Structure 1
Amino acid sequence: MNVKKQIFKGTLYAIVAGCMWGISGIFGQLFFRDYHGSPLWITSTRLVIAGVILLTMSFSRDRKHFFDVWKSKKNMPVLFLYVFGGVFSVQYFYYTAIQLSNSATATILQYTAPVFIMLYLLIFRRQLPKPKSVLFVILAMAGVFLLITNGDMSHLAISPLAILSGLLSAVAVVVYSIVPRPLLDKYGALNMTGWGMMLAGIASNIFYPIWHITFHVEPLAICYVLTISIVGTALAFLFLLRAFQLISPLVVSVATATEPLTSVFVSIPLFGLKLTGIALFAIVLVIVSVILLSRSEQG
């Protein structure tokens, strides 16, 4: 595949994954508003449902190599680091940060992930980031900050434990961005995403079992849960890992900033959200930064 075409395709996958997370967040908000469900329950449930769906797809697609990742002991450290240090930890620490502060603070802290990715590439791979790339990352993060807070610092309630949890969720993003690459290339994004979701779901159920249901089960509630599980988890992570196969984790982590953008756009018709001048500026800042970063990587 042509390099420019590969980078464009990978960036598009990452953008779509971010949009799916944004849609999932809106459905999560509706679920919490209408049914007062537990964030921990929805985390356990979405991971298990996503794992079952993706593993079923993987098995039907290639039964012969379905269990191949388990056949080599050398895969185990990478697999479990990806699952527990990445997929599970990003969920756990993100929701912990929300509980200790609020969703805006937790989201902003998690979106420091590109900085940690640049540090990783610099320290462990001796890859000095391009000055332009650093600038575009900073601009994108500034856009996310403005979009989430509307420029009002009073929305941020930060305690040391909240900061630690939020930063650990950002580090977890780095782990699932970089660690599974060798396994992705060998076993495919579908198989690896499926095993990642399922194992993380099993771990999450230790903290909050899927059968511990505290809300009234009805068709609308099931619709919310399935949308969060299928669109915002199974498909989003599948697109994300596909992006990691094509482009650098730095571009992926910045391109998924479309998550808060999608949340804002969907909230306009659903919740009557009105865009301020700061929000519009933030949206343009994020979009332009993602485009310029992708073009910078192509060069």
Structure 2
Amino acid sequence: MLIFGLLGMLGVQFTYFASIEAGNAAIATLLQYLAPLFILLYTVIWKKTRLFAMDFIGAFLALAGTYLLLTGGDPSQLTVSLRGFIWGIMSGISLAFYTLYSGPLLKNYSIQVIMGWGMLIGGAGMNLIHPVWSVPAINWSPSIIGSILFVVLLGTLAAFYLYIGSLRYIEPHEASLLSCTEPISAIISSVLWLSVPFNYFQILGSGLIVLMTVMVSIKSAKRSEPSAQETSFL
């Protein structure tokens, strides 16, 4: 649990925000969602897991769809500092570790226990580096308090709770692929609330991610059938 809290929970959060600080949210999100590739590499090299063609197709669709969503088809938007790039890659590796390492914990503890202790340990670990009493004084306006509560309760607690909960029903690499639907919600929110234009490349990216989601869901359903161990998805 200590390893999970420090390297998993804290690792994912800190590297992601550090990547945003050094670059921008779009690049940070794109690099973080390289996690499916790191999980595939781990399962093939260390676990000797047999992966089917659909796994690699799903990974390609997830990455391609995320790329189109976050860049709108314009590669020039991928310019980022080396520091931002490194933090982003570390964020993807941290997310892969978080996904894989939480699996064994779910066999012994409930989701509530894992989330509660993971966040407590991660927060305590960060407090050793940057104590809460050393935070510069700011004007704690209602909007700032509301934003912090939104990040803590919805952006962190709810998101991580649901993500860990999904690992009870699907494989780690499938969970990481399905989580790539996050950019879709980001795009929809930006269009509805911030009037951000939504071009054809982003529509295509959304379609690729939806297709990937359907593929992974169908495969997970087939895997739960009695004959799933005797036949492959293809």
TM-score category, normalised to shorter length: 0.7 to 0.9
**Any unmatched runs of 5+ in structure 2?**
223-234
User: How do residues 5-154 of structure 1 correspond to structure 2 at under 5 angstroms?
Assistant: 79-154=1-76
Corresponding letter in the other structure for 1:233: T
Structure 2 partner of 1:220: 143
Cα distance in 2 between the residues matched to 1:122 and 1:197:
30
Q: Does 1:273 align with 2:210?
A: no
Structure 2 partner of 1:294: 217
Deviation string, structure 1 residues 200-223 (Cα, Å, up to 9, x no partner): 112223344434254321223222
- Distance change >3 Å, CA 161–CA 226, structure 1 → 2: closer
Structure 1 partner of 2:157: 234
User: How do residues 239-258 of structure 1 correspond to structure 2 at under 5 angstroms?
Assistant: 239-258=162-181
Corresponding letter in the other structure for 1:117: I
Structure 2 partner of 1:161: 83
1:257 counterpart SS class: helix
TM-score, structure 1 as length reference: 0.70
C-alpha contact 1:102 1:157 (8 A) present in aligned 2 = no
Structure 1 partner of 2:100: 178
Structure 1 partner of 2:231: none
Deviation of 1:197 (Å): 0.7
Deviation of 1:99 (Å): 2.8
Cα distance in 1 between the residues matched to 2:130 and 2:75:
33
TM-score, structure 2 as length reference: 0.88
Structure 2 partner of 1:283: 206
Cα distance in 1 between the residues matched to 2:199 and 2:139:
37
C-alpha contact 1:101 1:156 (8 A) present in aligned 2 = no
C-alpha contact 1:137 1:293 (8 A) present in aligned 2 = no
Cα distance in 1 between the residues matched to 2:165 and 2:85:
30
Deviation of 1:97 (Å): 2.1
- Distance change >3 Å, CA 267–CA 250, structure 1 → 2: same
Deviation of 1:113 (Å): 0.3
Corresponding letter in the other structure for 2:126: S
Corresponding letter in the other structure for 2:43: L
Cα distance in 2 between the residues matched to 1:89 and 1:281:
32
RMSD: 1.7
Q: Does 1:261 align with 2:184?
A: yes
Deviation string, structure 1 residues 190-241 (Cα, Å, up to 9, x no partner): 1111000111112223344434254321223222221221111112111111
Deviation of 1:120 (Å): 0.9
Cα distance in 1 between the residues matched to 2:138 and 2:207:
39
Deviation of 1:297 (Å): 3.4
C-alpha contact 1:88 1:200 (8 A) present in aligned 2 = yes
C-alpha contact 1:140 1:286 (8 A) present in aligned 2 = yes
1:187 counterpart SS class: coil
Deviation of 1:80 (Å): 2.1
Deviation of 1:127 (Å): 0.7
Larger RCO (CA within 8 A; separation ≥ 6): 1
User: How many percent identity over aligned positions?
Assistant: 28
Cα distance in 2 between the residues matched to 1:295 and 1:214:
51
C-alpha contact 1:143 1:283 (8 A) present in aligned 2 = yes
Corresponding letter in the other structure for 1:103: A
Corresponding letter in the other structure for 1:87: M
C-alpha contact 2:22 2:83 (8 A) present in aligned 1 = yes
Deviation of 1:260 (Å): 1.2
Deviation of 1:272 (Å): 0.9
Corresponding letter in the other structure for 2:79: A
Number of residue-to-residue matches in the alignment = 221
